[in-house]
Structures are given as structure tokens and as C-alpha cells.
Structure 1
Amino acid sequence: MMKGFQFAGLDKATIGCKTLDCESPFGAKPNRRVLLPSNVPILAHSLEHTQRNWIAWSNSPSDLIIQIGDSSFHLHKLAIASRSEYLNRLVFQRGSNREKAGDSLIIQIKNLPGGKKAFELIVKFCYGRKIDITAANIVPLYCAAHFLEMSEDLEEGNLISKAEAFLTFQLLSSWKDTFRILKSSESISPWAKDLHIVKRCSEAINSLESVHKSKCIYVDNWWFKDVSCLRIDHFIEVIQSIRKRGTKPELVGSCIEHWTRKWFSQVTSGLDKETPMPITLQLHRISTEGLINILPSEENSVTCNFLLHLLKAGVMLKINPELLCVLERRVALMLEKCRVPDLLVKNQGYKDSLYDVSVVLRVLRFYVCGMSSNSSAKPHSVGRLVDGYLTQVARDENLTMESFKSLVEALPQKARHCDDNLYRAIDMYLKAHPNLAEENRTDVCRVLEYHRLSHEARQHVMQNDRLPLKLTTEFVLFEQVNMATSMTSKGSNYRRTNTQTVIRVNKDMEKRQITNAQEINMMRKDVEMIKSQLLEVHSCKMKLQNQLKRCIR
């Protein structure tokens, strides 16, 4: 045992590894130690603590007042200056932060790590009192000791060396206490980083995880819960340390996803309910960029769905465009192996569509841009994926026509073998949006072409009253012309004229029952109609021929 150290409340089982389990592999109870200094120049009979003041009672009157925040510590110069090089200079040298109050010197200390709570422990140490050190207070005490320059140069067994010994012991022996140390360093993070505490904790977590892996059988993600409690900069430090050890990329990716889903739910679900303060937005922006930078680059190390959520957050927070491009490219490369659920990114606002289709649209456009230069691209796989995605999102009554139409048109025609699945998605959208005007329904259905649908799909189109009348009529005409052409080419006696065909189509579509009294008037109107529809039949023939030529090509 080191000189000046006393241990309290630790049995052999606690010093070693008492138990190994997934939640607390190295013991759940925090280790505590009682620290005593070696040589003390002035002993205090008592340390009286009022609401704002600390008074050290000794044989000699106090001659030093140290102010930290709204608290005053009435102390003795010799007791304090003999332990702290920093206070020694302030006591015996003139400075701007000192003044006199009777026989006492007043010194104000600003920005002391740990504040008055850490200084209370330091006062006890300087006067030979016991200090109860735990994982929760060791970092503020250690940083405050460095701030006050309480090194071995002034006194053997000074506070820095004793705090260092305890810190090292904790980092080498306790998984839970290592996380307590990391959490306690958040409030004084700059000091903790400068003194390499965060780095040492990260390395300790790395080492302890390896020890635990070698001693018991466990699920891979047993450590996710503890790591996810860390704030972003400390989390990044831990992840970087774990990656250096060679942890499986997919396990690292899962841990990053676990942390992100816990802390970023309010970002990925939208910022529409309340407008956060600018500092909060800035923090989320920096955090998102930090997470993107530590993502493992290996294939399948992170899920497509997680990347889309991260992309959504990045777009909302207006992160670095280059990082957005990194995410878009990465998801685009995964599309050919994705499933429809991978693309589902939910919105949370009541007036929003159920799913955020804008992030998927960004990725699709990125994929199309690179498709022409990628000889190994499999656009038909992406075509099936997008049609399945369209079928899923089409049911949402809040999905705007513009968004749906943009998704439909995102892929080129060659990405689909046929349009049957696309037609199914369009029909489902029209069913979920019965109040669409005829003009809008026509606009949505504009991409459908007769020759790109199977026979069954064409029959469904001609009987589908949700479709615009113009499209249904066009398909019926195409079917009649196609049938007439087919039968004529086979030498059939079928000789129905174009006029008869149009009259029959017109009667079938309108489903009118002509009575004897109405027959003359209706025929007169039909004659006028036939004149215009003859031109339309001819136009449809030409259009069908052009479509067939494109299909053959």
C-alpha cells in the first residue's frame, strides 16, 4: 500500500472481479477510498460549515479568505500555500485578484475545476482530514489539484500523486466505475481532455471489454447500454479506441446506431413541435457530423435504414454538404440489396406524411446519376424495390401528389421490366386519395403506357373507375385496335370498320340504354362524335406503333 493511502470498505472480492455479468461485469458497487495526507503543517480542530462559509478552527486565527463563487473559505496561509504552488504565488506575490480584510488576505479563484465542492475536499486534505474519494468525485478533485499545482515538488505525497494512484486503480479494475469517471468529467470536459482522462477511460473500457470477453460467454452488445450514456465527444473517443482494437465493424456500427437512436430521436422525428435554441441546434449539428465521421466504412457495417435516418437529421440540421453526399452515396450503393422496410423513415408531425419520402428521393436521384457510369449496376433490382416502396407509401392520405409523382418519375423507364407493379402503386394512391381532381389523376397516370403492362393489368385498367376517363378510353381503343390488327393479320373474316369500333367503345364506356324514343337524337349525336373520334383512333394507332417500336428497341 502506498504511503498516505488508507482503504476503507473494500474486501478482497471487491478489489478483484467479484462478478461478471452483462450489466456490471466488474462489480456494481462503486469503490471508495479514504485519503490522508502525510505531513500537515497545521491541524484544524474542526471545519465549521455554514450555508456559504467554511471556517477552519485552529490554535492560530485564520489569515486567508478564499472566495469561490458565492462561498468563502476562512483558512490559514501556511496550510494552503504549503500544498499549492498556485496559491503560494497568490499569497506571497501581489496580484489583481487579492485584497485585504483586516489581518486576512482575500483571494478570488475563478474557473476552478469542480468548483466549491472540489475545493472543500482540498481544504480537508490540507488540514489533515479524511477525504472520501469515489469514482464520482475523483475527476473534479484530480483536475482541481492540477489547477492549484499540488505536486510532489512542494510536498511528498501531495494531492496530485494520491489522486493519480486512485484514478489508475479504478480504471484498471472496474468497468462501471470507469463509466462513472467519464460521466463525472462531462462538466469539466476541457480539463479532463487536457489531462488525458477521457482518453485513458476510453483505453480502459477497451481493455476491460477484452478481459470480460475472455472470461465469460456473453452477447455481443452487452456494453451498448453503458456506452450509450456518454455524451457525444466522449462517445466518439470510446468508439475510436474500440475500433483500433479491431472490434467487428458491424458491432461498432450497431453501437453507433444504438447511441444515435437514444439521443437523437427528437431530431430524426422532426423539429416541428418546438423550436430548439440555436445552441441546441448547433450541438445536434456537430454531433451528427461527428457520428458520420466515425461510421465504419466496411460494407454492411451499418443498416440502410439507420443511414437514411441520419441523412434526414443531416438535411434538417443543414450539416456539411460533403457529409450529406457521403451518406447519399453510401445508401445509393446499398439500394440493390435493400428491402422495402429499409427505406421507411417515419415522420412524427400530425400534418406530415407518415413516411419521409424526400430522403429516399435524394438517394434515388444520386443512384440514377451514377447508374450510367456503373457497368455492374442492377437497375431492375432497384426498380422492384422502388415500386414496392411506392405501394407502401401510397396508402398514406397525407402524401402529396407532387411527392408521389416525383418518386414515380425518379427512375428511368429501363429500370423496370414492365409497369405492372407501378400501376398497382398508382391505383393504390388513387384509392387512398378519392378526392383528386380529374386533371390531377391524369397527371399521376401519365407514366402508364399500354405496351408496358401485362394483359391482366390492361384488363384491370379498362374496368377501373378510379382511373381518369381519358386513360381508360385510350386503353380500350388500343385494345380494340390491337385486336382488330391481330385478327386481320391471321386472315380472319373479321371486318368491323373503325366507325363500328368507335360506336361500340362509346356505348360500352357510357353504358347508355338507347330507347326507341331517343334513338334518332342519339344517333345524330353519335355521328358528330364519330367524326372527332376517328381522328383519335388514327392518333392512337400511331401512338401504339411508336410505343411498340420503342419496346422492340
Structure 2
Amino acid sequence: MDACFEFDLQVDVNGEEVFVLDTRIISSYSGKINKLLSKSKDGLGRRLKVIFHDFPGGAANFELIIRFCYDNGKVNINPGNISNLSVAAHFMEMNKFVAGTENLCEQTEKSLEEIKYWTWSELLVALKQCGDLLPEGSSLTILDKFLGSLVGKVVSSCETSPCPSTSSPESYGFRLSCETRSSESLKNSCFRATWWFDDLVALNIRVIKMLIRSMVSRNLDNGIISKFLFYYQKSRFGSAPSPEKVEIIEAIVEMLCSLDTTCVSYKSLFEVLRVGLNLNLSRCCRDKLEGMIGSLLDRATLDNLLLPSPARKTSYLYDVDLVLRFLKSFLGNGVGCVPLSRLKKVVRLMDLYLVEIAPDPHLKPSKFLVVIRAIPDSARDSSDEVYHAVNLYLEVHSGLSEDQKTKICSGLNYEKLSSEEINDLTRNVNFPSQFAAQALILRQRRLESLLQDTDEAVSIDLPPTLSKPAHKGRKGEGSQQIVLYAKKLSLCDESKKLRAHLQGMQWRALELEKFCRRMQIQMTKMMRSRLLSGHGSKSVPKICS
């Protein structure tokens, strides 16, 4: 055999192995070898050497090419080696015409005509091999055909799956494995639309990106696609180094952005965010992820928002700035652009968040006020939760100056406080005195407004202190009555409302009694003081007479 060949060429393949070959035979099939030899200026009779550093598939794959060349261009192509042969053939530029034979590129492309008869397993193996062999940024016709055939089987099985709709972003039911992989049995043996998840986890992230693009173009349910991406991320993270984790998350976030966001699991988005907080993700990736979460903020729970403060701000308990960015993404172009039902959910959520962060001893007043005002006042129906948060903040941060307290309290809309909270504010020592006085005025104004709206008489017994005192020398005549008016009230129809109004007014009357009693005691002391000092000639006005 040696007499038939002249071994004058050495080929070093990726440092794995050196092959000694016949230049004439190899160059007749490989355009790449031809080009390299034509550039050589070495004289004849000297052995030439070619070094490949990036041959796809390494020495084992190069040996397949050698066998093809030494066997006069004949090779048995099957699903198990078609990817290796095709990628290596393109690398070696084996598209030359050799008399009496088809070049290797032509043979591999012709073999793809049988791809529709391949089983799922054969197709999956070929796709994985092709994806692993191709360098970053490159693509082949063979790869596109693999992708198209694989996605076609997935889409077909999902369309014929008897399982309930899997569009709900929170519904999980991963894969019932299909033992039979033929194209016919796929339709009959798969009971869940997610049966293919585990099989595709073995593919690298570059191939996954191409698969997802193909699935989106084929209108596969976006809810199923998003669940697969989250499943892929969890499955690949086990032993992956940090750089690979970053690559996977950034690719997954990019793919999720191409889907209908309403089909994406909000819980899973937060899980990805929590994982990403410990990785060096790009700013662009973080912005996209935060934007998706923010756009769906009405789905969040309070626990979702209680993310720990980043390492550079260890003094804070929670990452308040992150939540503010979520809210900014949700509001988008303004409150008027958000559906009312969704807006109300977010307002309620942010009010609960305020109460939760208020006890943080390191939370600055300015930042706390920013969170209060982050929700436009027009979006709140009630300020009661904000009042509770402010009250708690003032209790914990007792060392604040009056100016700081005033600024924080100015963020509260007192007109939107309930009567119960207004009454509580009038005697709340945590608030600066001017706000307690403001509450008293607001309470009196509401009481007057209630009285002005009436035009039928209703009486309420008042305690003796609030009634006009009896003449000197006579005993008090007991409780007096205050006459109120109800606007043509039907006691039969409105008895509950009337009873509630009366009880509330009686309670307020008791409060006024206490106030007047304190004022009378104070005025009595002033009278005695004037008499003792000799300045009792002026009369003192009667209070609450």
C-alpha cells in the first residue's frame, strides 16, 4: 500500500495528533489544502507541514475526512455523522469537482432530503453535534434545516396535545418523556406540551437562541416558550461557571423580550433577577429585565419587592431604588395610560411597601419621601396606609429635626384621610403640632359640612358639659339636645346609615366635651391668677357657654 502513496504532507490537528498524508490525494478534494500549498515556497523533495488550531471536531473528525479522500470520495452518510462531515467539509472547502464523484459538500446536502424520515432522537443528536462544531457567529444551511425540522415536530405535537392550555404563566408541568420518537408516535404518546424540555436542555445557548427565533416565527405559544427558557436556565446553572451563567441569563432575557410579556411567569422573572443580582450582568441586560418586571408590577406581591439592598449599600435593609425603577417602568407615559384596575393594585402594593420599609433605621427622610410621592396623588383614593407608614417612620426615627419631620409629613394628603385617622392625628405626638391643628380644622370642617347637608330634624343627647350651664343657685338640668337635620331620610330604608351617622356624631360630641372641659379648667386658672395679681377688673369671655 505504501508504494501507491507518497507521504509528503504532515497535518497537525489542534495539537491532538499529526497525520502524514499524500499531498496529491488530499489536495484533489480540499480547496483549503490547495491554497495553503500554493503559498508554500519550499522546494520539492521536502516534507510540508500544515497546522490547524481550530479544526471542527478535532482529530477524530479529521480522520473521517481522510477516509473519504482515500476511499475515492465514498462515504456512508447517516444522521450520526452528517453534522461532522458537513462542518468539516465546509472548513476544508471540499466543494471541488472530482471526476466521477460528488464532492463531500454535495453529498451531505443530498442526504438531507431524507431528514423528514428521521426520528426525534436522530434529529436531536445531529443538531447538537452541528451546534457544538460550528464556531460562534457562523451558520450553515444544514443547521437551518435541522432547526426547521425540530421546531416543526415541537409545534405539531403542541397543536395536537390533548392537555389543557399551558398559556397560564404560573402553571408548571414539565415533560412526560416520550419513549417512542418517530414522527407518528409523537402525536399519540405526548400528553403534555412541555415533553421536549429535557431533551433540548443539552443544546448550547447559541442553538437555543436560533430555536426560539424559529418557534416565535412559527407562532408557538409564548407561555410554553417562556417556561422552557426558565427551565433551561435552572437546568444549566447546576455546575456552570460564572461566565457561562452570565451568558445564559443575558441570552434568556434577550429572548424573553421577544415574547408577549403577559405570557411570562412573573415569579420566574423575579427568580432570574435574584440570581442575576449576584452575577456581573451587563447594564443593558439589567435594564431589560427590570423593565419587564416593572411593566407587570400589578402581578407582584409584597415579598417580591423586599429585595435586599445591594452590597454597596449594606446599611439599607431593602433595595428601594430598584423598586422605584420598577414603578417608573409600570407608569410609563403617565398614570392616565395605565388601566385603572391595574393602577389600583400597584397603589395598594406600594402603600404596603411603604409600611414595610418605614422601620428601616438607615432609610433617609429624603428617600422615604421620594417613595411616598412616587405614586401620583391623583391615583390614591385613601391616604390611610401612607399615614400609618409616616407615623411608623417618625416613631423609629425619633431623632429627626422639626424641619425633617415637616417635610415628611407634607407628603401626606390629609384630605384623603378617613375620619378615624383624622381623629388619631389630632392627638398624635409623633407629628409636628401644626399638623395636629390642621387635623382639628379638617375634622370641624367635615362636621359642619355634614350639618349643612341636612334638612330634617334629628336630635342627639349631649353631655351636661357641652350644654348651656344652669343659672347660679340652680342645679343642672341634665343632658341637653343638639338638633341635627337629615336630608329627607327614610328610617325604614336608611336605618343603618342613620345609626352610623348618629353614633359618629355622638362620639365627636364627647370629644368636643373633653376639649371644652380642658379649656374651662385653663380659663379658671387664668381667672384666679388675674384676681390674685390685682388685675381682675376685666371680664373674661365664657368658653363653650
* TM-score band, normalised by shorter chain: 0.5 to 0.7
- Give the Cα–Cα distance (whole angstroms) in 2 for the partners of residues 137 and 339 of structure 1: 49
Relative distance call for 1:332 and 1:286 in structure 2 (3 A) is closer
Counterpart CA distance in 2 for 1:68 and 1:377 is: 66
**2:214 maps to what in 1?**
241
Residue of 89, 93, 97 corresponding to 1:145: 89
Give per-residue Cα distances to partners, 1:284-326, cap 9 Å, x unaligned.
89737732552236xx2224566678899799633299x85x9
Determine the C-alpha separation between the residues in 2 that align with 1:357 and 1:369: 19
Measure, in 2, the Cα distance between the counterparts of 1:355 and 1:216: 49
2:328 is the alignment partner of 1:386: no
Q: Which moved more, 1:240-249 or 1:484-493?
A: 484-493
**Alignment check: 8 A CA contact 2:324 2:371 kept:** yes
Q: Which runs of 5+ in 1 are unaligned?
A: 1-42, 44-56, 267-273, 509-518, 525-553
Provide the residue aligned with 2:283 in structure 1: 318
Q: CA deviation at 1:238?
A: 0.8
**Following the alignment from structure 1 to structure 2, what is the Cα–Cα distance between the partners of residues 182 and 111?**
20
After TM superposition, give the deviation of residue 401 of structure 1 in Å. 4.7
Aligned in 2, Cα 1:370/1:132: closer, same or farther, shift over 3 Å? same
The 1:411/1:191 distance shift into structure 2, 3 A limit, reads closer
Contact 1:139 1:181 in 2 (8 A): yes
CA-to-partner distance for each residue in 1:44-78, whole Å, 9 max, x for gaps? xxxxxxxxxxxxx6765622212334342212234
Report if the CA contact (8 A) 2:254-2:285 is conserved.
no
TM-score, with structure 2 as normaliser:
0.61
Q: Distance in 2 between matches of 1:73 and 1:494?
A: 119
Residue pair 1:175, 1:205 contacting (<8 A) in 2 also: yes
Q: Aligned ranges for residues 326-337 of structure 1 at < 5 Å?
A: 328=291, 334-335=296-297, 337=298
Assess, with a 3 A threshold, how the Cα gap between structure 1 residues 133 and 423 changes in structure 2: closer, same or farther.
farther
How far apart are the structure 1 equivalents of 2:113 and 2:386? 64
Cα contact 2:294–2:325 (8 A) shared by 1: no
In the alignment, structure 1 residue 338 sits paired with structure 2 residue 292: no
Aligned twin of 1:424: 388
Instruction: Indicate if the aligned counterparts of 1:140 and 1:188 stay in contact, CA closer than 8 A.
Output: yes
Rg: which structure is higher? 2
Query: Does 2:259 match 1:295?
Result: yes
1:200 to 125, 136, 145: 145
CA contact (8 A) 2:361 2:397 kept: no
Distance 1:488 1:80 in 2: 106
- The letter of the residue matching 1:200 is K
Displacement of 1:219 in angstroms is 2.4
- Tell me the secondary structure at the aligned position of residue 319 of structure 1: helix
1:17-416 to structure 2, matched below 5 A, reads: 62-70=7-15, 71-88=17-34, 90-91=36-37, 94-96=38-40, 99=42, 103-109=46-52, 111-128=54-71, 138-151=82-95, 153-154=97-98, 156=101, 159-160=104-105, 163-164=108-109, 173-190=118-135, 193-210=138-155, 212=157, 213=161, 214-259=187-232, 287=251, 290-291=254-255, 293-296=257-260, 300-304=262-266, 317-319=282-284, 328=291, 334-335=296-297, 337-340=298-301, 344=305, 346-347=307-308, 349=310, 351=314, 356-365=319-328, 368=331, 370-371=333-334, 374=337, 377=340, 379-394=343-358, 401-416=365-380
Aligned to 1:49: none
Task: Return the offset for 1:327.
Answer: 7.3
After superposition, the Cα gap between the structure-2 partners of 1:79 and 1:435, relative to the gap in structure 1 and judged at 3 Å, is farther
TM-align CA RMSD: 5.3
C-alpha contact (below 8 Å) 2:394/2:431 kept by paired residues: no
Cα distance in 2 between the residues matched to 1:100 and 1:106: 13
**CA distance in 1 between partners of 2:39 and 2:265 (Å):** 59
What amino acid maps onto 1:80 in structure 2? I
Relative to 1, partners in 2 of residues 1:380 and 1:257: Cα closer, same or farther, differing over 3 Å? same
SS in 2 for 1:407: helix
Shift of 1:408: 1.4
SS at 2:134 equivalent: helix
Shift of 1:205: 1.9
**TM superposition score normalised by structure 1:** 0.60
Between the two proteins, what is the percent identity of the paired residues?
A: 23
Q: Is the alpha carbon distance of 1:287 and 1:452 closer, same or farther for their aligned partners in structure 2, counting shifts above 3 Å?
A: same
- Structure 2: 5+ residue runs without aligned partners? 162-186, 453-459, 470-508, 531-545
Question: Relative to 1, partners in 2 of residues 1:194 and 1:355: Cα closer, same or farther, differing over 3 Å?
Answer: same
The one-letter code of the counterpart of 2:33 is: L
Q: Give me the whole-angstrom Cα distance separating, in 2, the residues matched to 1:359 and 1:168.
A: 53
**Kept after mapping to 1: 8 A contact 2:266/2:300:** no
Given that 1:333 and 1:367 are in contact with CA atoms closer than 8 Å, whether structure 2 keeps it comes out as yes
**Distance of 1:414 and 1:366 partners within structure 2:** 18
- Contact in 2 for aligned 1:84/1:150 (Cα 8 Å): yes
CA distance in 2 between partners of 1:355 and 1:137 (Å):
55
- SS of aligned partner of 1:64: strand
Q: Bigger relative contact order, structure 1 or 2, given CA contacts below 8 A and separation 6+?
A: 1
2:79/2:126 contact within 8 Å kept:
yes
